Structure 1
Amino acid sequence: MKIYKTILLTAAVVFTTACQSKVKEQKTETTVKKEMAEAVKPTQEDLSNYETAYFASGCFWCVEAIFESVKGIPEVVSGYAGGTEDNPTYEQVGRGLTSHAEAVKVYYDPEVISFTALVQVFFGSHDPTTLNRQGPDRGPQYRSVAFYKNEEEKKIIEGYIQALKDQNVYDGDPITTQVVPFTKFYDAEDYHQDYEKKHPNNSYITNVSIPRLNRFKKNFGEYLKEKIH
């Protein structure tokens, strides 16, 4: 596993997603379902008071869980973006039959976390040098994409990428992340939302998603809703 120093506003480490780490403790399905039932999900009216940002960096189960662990983010929605086809389905996107990527819609409070910080979270939680691949997931539907809604967001993303290059964070490996204007986001099917929380014993979740989330938490403690000291 490669380890790289980042140039974040706060110190952190960028990890590739090629290896897995041991999960010390697993919650039971019953415990998780109880917690899910007790959790209060924000309403659409509540979410209308937040800003939105869009990213793609591999399986949206993983990406959703990572962003939902970050302070100032009340909700993350898994879905599809970056393509031209209307109303794509999981089967179509997963089989590479569309031009869409698995993506997430991030609701965030800019008074708590900035768009720049979201970009740092994005790059710090996946390997942007693996073209059309993230960990075991391969194909353009798993490509790395940072979407921008205006010129200021584009400037922030491109500036951060240039800083990563200037600091040679990836040892000369080219950054393959697409920086493209946001057009439309399609929500994924209901059963994909909060998938990691609902299915902690799923083999993909235990072997890929949770280790990826734990690596992120270990190195971005200051960004978490529950800080790790």
Structure 2
Amino acid sequence: MTMRFLPYFFLLILAVGCTKKSADKANQNEVKDTSPAKLPQPAPGEAVATFAGGCFWCIEEEFELLKGVREAVSGYAGGDLANPTYEQVGTDQTGHAESVQVYYDPKVIPYDTLVKAFLYAHDPTTLNRQGPDVGTQYRSVAFYRTPAEKAAIDKAIAHYNASGIYTDPVVTQVVPFKAFYPAEVYHQGYYRAHPDDFYINSVSRPKVEKFKKKLADKLKPETAEK
């Protein structure tokens, strides 16, 4: 191997090794609360939205940075198995995608803005993968609850495809919402609870920082400078 190819070789090693599964293995000795998290009740005037865009550790953090979002919960949606576990979803056999359920005030952040944020929060042009994470559990999905929400999603995707923001077309699935199952307690707030995690620093943090720059005017004041 010549010296000029060495940097590319080590980048390849990094990309292959720094996956969600590798992070799980690295933290296998950590004491974890594997009981399902409890879903919050929507507050008066709040609405609920559900999206999937790769590793939910990152997507949850991105949504919680937004003004008008009270809480984002990591979980599973889009599959057939009731109350799946993280391990079951990870087999790529349950049909579920790692998802985030967002509790928000539509008077502060309208649904179409939330959809725009979702499309910025991940790469919606890669089929069944986000970065180094591969499998249908990492696919891009926008779950709609009403015809108006579906129309907003379709409009946003059409705009992105026409704008040339991405070289490839958006492959986000647009499907009716059926059920959301909260992930285990230890997954909730994972990004902030594990600031020294190699995966968080190498994969998630660059995405979050890019998201913050794209939507700087939509961030909560206390998070904009973090």
TM-score range, shorter chain: 0.7 to 0.9
Say if 2:186 is the partner of 1:177: no
Alignment-mate amino acid for residue 214 of structure 1? E
Distance in 2, matches of 1:44 and 1:174, equals: 35
Distance in 2, matches of 1:175 and 1:61, equals: 22
Give the alignment of 1:51-62 within 5 angstroms: 51-62=47-58
Say if 2:79 is the partner of 1:80: no
SS at match of 1:74: strand
Shift in Å, 1:219: 1.8
Shift in Å, 1:221: 0.4
- Structure 2 gaps of 5+ residues are 1-14, 16-38
Question: Residue 195 of structure 1 corresponds to which residue in structure 2?
Answer: 190
- Structure 1 gaps of 5+ residues are 1-17, 19-42
Alignment-mate amino acid for residue 60 of structure 1? F
Question: Residue 210 of structure 1 corresponds to which residue in structure 2?
Answer: 205
Shift in Å, 1:97: 2.5
Alignment-mate amino acid for residue 140 of structure 2? S
Alignment-mate amino acid for residue 192 of structure 1? H
Distance in 2, matches of 1:106 and 1:193, equals: 13
Whether the 8 Å CA contact 2:73–2:100 is kept in 1: the answer is yes
Identity of aligned residues (%): 53
SS at match of 1:78: strand
Give the alignment of 1:87-102 within 5 angstroms: 87-102=83-98
Distance in 2, matches of 1:96 and 1:45, equals: 30
Distance in 2, matches of 1:44 and 1:77, equals: 9
| Higher normalized helix content (fraction of residues) | 2
Deviations 1:68-94 (A, max 9, x none): 000100100000001111111000112
Shift in Å, 1:48: 5.4
Distance in 2, matches of 1:44 and 1:220, equals: 26
Q: How many residues align?
A: 186
SS at match of 2:69: coil
- Calculate the TM-score normalised by the size of structure 2: 0.78
